């Protein structure tokens, strides 16, 4: 396909234009069904109208607030996906633009590892965790060997295909270069060095190894460590406290060792993804069909859940049509029947909310720390009367219903789950028009394989609507950190300027003191020189006087000596004369 022509969003640059296809995606793809929701918008199952290929489409809007930032995020993710060529990373099939929305087309996966926990309401078996971890490690080793960092590894971003292949997905937070220093990721899975990166430096691919260790605990305990804690408090605990460990003693030493190895606090001590591939936990022998069997069991469980929900919705609509709103005792009985069926089929009626945001399986109770656009999913607008009529066509509601190919999800699953806190059935007994439309969808759903129940998709959509506060909080936290960093830099610059000013002032004072001291020293030297000169002159005068005295004395002594000699000469002369005479 040829690249798109110039459109709003920066496609005047040929480099950007070549990233997108020019075709109208609404003509290329049909049978769109929402299968997940995240902070960026929605993910859909779809079919290529020309090749009949099944794909997943991630829609991301670049309209509204922060348009430039949203567009840059789309460009970044598309460029990243284009580079991926590995069996354990999601296969990218192209990107289209339509009405200020980017359609990222990828291979379709059944769901995520997080969906397995949601459906079965219990931890995975150790051999299943090992198989999923091994596939994720292969994908991470590929990324790290190309200096890429995923930065959002968690169960919700590890997808499964029909043949049981493990795929890394959701590269919206990924870094195309290593090392990196952005504060990006999902709080409970975030490595300590990512939390501290803005203050203390950079990090490398080993942050994904930490996140993989947390994901192992998530698969073994149905939730990551600190999940009952506020996200901000969890970030503080991750950065300051000791590493988490597996709580139960039922796991093997190899599994416990693997998790502890992944969660070494100091990055230099933590192994690389390539080194972890040699660990006993992922290398030991396991059944070749372990993931295929797990997927099949999950499909069966999804079939039961969807049947239960369909029957309930049909009974509610039938009651509304013929007998008015269902009484409290009737609804309690209905709720009890459904709960009992769930208990029998799944073994537990308590759910731990999913905490993932992925390409093929979008649970969004905890969103990634990434400023990506919100794309509101389209609401169904069915005619109220026709929906009611089609849903209550028969006088008698059958006790069981087996829709065609029940291993399916549905288009816009907008019914409300009983276990969700946001709706009180006791105060609002009348089904909404949305619920009637959803019951209609159960009858007319399209066929596609999935391990995500319709109720889970609905819950994710409602959770997404309730998550704006957390996203705003996390965005606010990032803004506060950036602002704090700017303030620190400004304060450092101010202090540096003040230090330079004080240094110059002290230097000037020192120079002044030095000059004054030098002048005083010169004065003292001159004074000392004058005094010394005087003393030298005095000494010279005294010396001269002393020499004169000595010379006078010597002269006197010499004169006396000569006088004595003369006297002796005269005496000798007189004696000679006397002798001669």
Q: Kindly give the confidence (pLDDT) of every residue in the chain, 581 residues in length, as a single tens digit, with 9 standing for 90 and above.
A: 333 333 444 455 666 778 899 889 999 999 888 887 766 678 899 999 999 999 999 998 888 777 888 888 889 899 999 999 999 999 999 999 988 899 999 999 999 999 999 999 999 999 999 999 999 999 999 999 999 999 999 999 999 999 999 999 989 889 888 888 888 889 999 999 998 876 556 899 999 999 999 999 999 999 999 999 988 899 999 999 999 999 999 999 999 999 999 999 999 999 999 999 999 999 999 999 999 999 999 988 888 887 887 777 777 777 766 665 555 445 444 444 444 444 333 333 333 333 333 333 333 334 444 433 333 333 333 333 333 333 333 333 333 333 333 233 333 333 323 333 333 333 333 444 444 444 444 443 445 677 777 766 776 666 655 555 666 666 677 777 778 888 889 999 999 999 999 999 999 999 999 889 889 888 888 888 898 888 888 888 888 888 889 998 988 889 999 989 888 888 898 888 888 87
Cα–Cα separations (whole angstroms), residue 121 to 223, 439, 452, 453: 11, 25, 13, 13
- Give catalytic status of residue 152 as yes or no: yes
Gap between the Cα atoms of 127 and 413, Å rounded: 33
Point out the annotated binding site for ATP. Answer: 59
Strand order in the sheet with 92-98: 29-38, 41-48, 54-61, 101-107, 92-98
The two tokens of residue 131 are: 């198989």
At 533 the pLDDT is 87
Gap between the Cα atoms of 19 and 174, Å rounded: 18
Peptide bond into 308 cis (omega under 30): no
Q: Pick the catalytic residue: 152, 170, 208, 375? A: 152
For 29-107, CATH number out of 3.30.200.20, 3.90.340.10, 1.20.970.10, 3.10.580.10 equals: 3.30.200.20
At 313 the pLDDT is 77
Tell me the sheet residues that pair with 104: 58, 95
At 354 the pLDDT is 33
Pairing, β 158-160 against β 54-61: unpaired
| CB-CB contact of 339 with 109 (8 Å) | no
Each residue's pLDDT tens digit, 307-365: 887 777 777 777 766 665 555 445 444 444 444 444 333 333 333 333 333 333 333 33
Gap between the Cα atoms of 429 and 416, Å rounded: 12
Looking at domain 111-317, does it have CATH number 3.30.390.50? no
Give the three-class secondary structure for 556. Answer: helix
Q: Is 379 exposed, middle or buried (0-12, 13-18, 19+ CB in 10 A)?
A: exposed
The dihedral formed by the CA atoms of 563, 566, 567 and 568, expressed in degrees to the nearest 10: 120
| CB-CB contact of 441 with 410 (8 Å) | yes
| CB-CB contact of 326 with 429 (8 Å) | yes
At 58 the pLDDT is 92
Gap between the Cα atoms of 224 and 213, Å rounded: 10
Tell me the sheet residues that pair with 38: 41
Where, residue-wise, is CATH 3.30.200.20 in the chain?
Answer: 29-107
Cα–Cα separations (whole angstroms), residue 560 to 350, 546, 556: 144, 21, 6
At 482 the pLDDT is 77
Q: Is 345 left (phi over 0), alpha (psi -120 to 50) or beta?
A: alpha
Gap between the Cα atoms of 137 and 135, Å rounded: 5
- How many other CB atoms sit within 10 Å of the CB of residue 345? 14
Where, residue-wise, is CATH 1.10.510.10 in the chain?
Answer: 111-317
| CB-CB contact of 146 with 94 (8 Å) | no
| CB-CB contact of 183 with 481 (8 Å) | yes
- How many other CB atoms sit within 10 Å of the CB of residue 132? 26
Point out the annotated binding site. Answer: 59
Q: Is 20 left (phi over 0), alpha (psi -120 to 50) or beta?
A: beta
Tell me the sheet residues that pair with 112: 159
Cα–Cα separations (whole angstroms), residue 350 to 312, 361, 418: 19, 20, 12
In 407-467, alpha helices (H): 433-443, 454-465
Using alpha carbons, select from 93, 110, 107, 111 the residue that is nearest to residue 25: 93
């Amino acid at each position: 396909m040829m690249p798109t022509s110039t459109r709003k969003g920066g496609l005047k640059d040929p480099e950007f234009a070549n990233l997108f296809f020019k075709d109208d995606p609404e003509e290329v793809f049909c049978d769109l069904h929402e299968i997940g929701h995240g902070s960026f918008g929605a993910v859909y199952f779809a079919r290529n109208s020309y090749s009949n290929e099944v794909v997943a489409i991630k829609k991301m809007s670049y309209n509204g607030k922060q348009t430039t930032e949203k567009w840059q995020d789309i460009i970044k993710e598309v460029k990243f996906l284009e580079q991926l060529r590995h069996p354990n990373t999601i296969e990218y099939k192209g990107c289209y633009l339509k009405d200020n929305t980017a359609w990222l087309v990828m291979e379709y996966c059944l769901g995520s590892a997080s969906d397995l926990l949601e459906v079965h309401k219990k931890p995975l078996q150790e051999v299943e965790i090992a198989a999923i971890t091994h596939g994720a490690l292969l994908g991470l080793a590929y990324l790290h060997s190309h200096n890429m960092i995923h930065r959002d590894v968690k169960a919700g971003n590890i997808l499964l295909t029909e043949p049981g292949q493990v795929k890394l997905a959701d590269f919206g937070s990924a870094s195309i270069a290593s090392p990196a220093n952005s504060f990006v990721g999902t709080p409970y899975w975030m490595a300590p060095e990512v939390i501290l990166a803005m203050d203390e430096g950079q990090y490398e691919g080993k942050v994904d190894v930490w996140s993989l260790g947390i994901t192992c605990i998530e698969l073994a305990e149905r939730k990551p460590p600190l999940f009952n804690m506020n996200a901000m408090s969890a970030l503080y605990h991750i950065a300051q406290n000791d590493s988490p460990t597996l709580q139960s003693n039922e796991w093997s030493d190899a599994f416990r060792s693997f998790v502890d190895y992944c969660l070494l606090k100091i990055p230099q001590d933590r192994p690389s993804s390539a080194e972890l591939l040699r660990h006993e936990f992922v290398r030991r022998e396991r059944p070749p069909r372990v993931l295929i069997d797990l997927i099949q069991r999950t499909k069966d469980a999804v079939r039961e859940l969807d049947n239960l929900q369909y029957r309930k919705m049909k009974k509610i609509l039938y009651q509304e049509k013929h007998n008015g709103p269902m009484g409290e005792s009737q609804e309690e009985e209905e709720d009890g029947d459904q709960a009992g069926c769930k208990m029998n089929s799944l073994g537990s009626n308590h759910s731990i909310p999913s905490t993932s945001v992925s390409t093929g399986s979008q649970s969004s109770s905890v969103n990634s720390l990434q400023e990506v656009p919100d794309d509101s999913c389209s609401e169904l607008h069915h005619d109220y009367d026709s929906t009611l009529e089609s849903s209550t066509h028969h006088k008698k509601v059958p006790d069981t219903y087996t829709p065609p190919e029940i291993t399916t999800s549905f288009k816009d699953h907008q019914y409300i789950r009983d276990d969700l806190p946001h709706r009180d059935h006791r105060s609002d007994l009348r089904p909404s028009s949305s619920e009637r439309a959803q019951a209609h969808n159960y009858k007319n759903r399209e066929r596609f394989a999935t391990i995500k129940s319709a109720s889970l998709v609905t819950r994710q959509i409602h959770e997404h609507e309730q998550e704006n506060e957390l996203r705003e909080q996390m965005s606010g936290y990032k803004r506060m950190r950036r602002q704090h960093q700017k303030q620190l830099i400004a304060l450092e610059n101010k202090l540096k300027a003040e230090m330079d000013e004080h240094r110059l002032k002290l230097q000037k004072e020192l120079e002044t003191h030095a000059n004054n001291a030098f002048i005083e020293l010169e004065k003292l030297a001159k004074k000392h020189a004058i005094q010394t000169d005087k003393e030298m002159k005095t000494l010279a005068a005294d010396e001269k006087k002393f020499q004169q005295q000595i010379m006078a004395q010597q002269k006197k002594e010499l004169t006396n000596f000569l006088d004595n000699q003369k006297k002796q000469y005269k005496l000798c002369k007189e004696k000679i004369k006397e002798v001669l005479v």
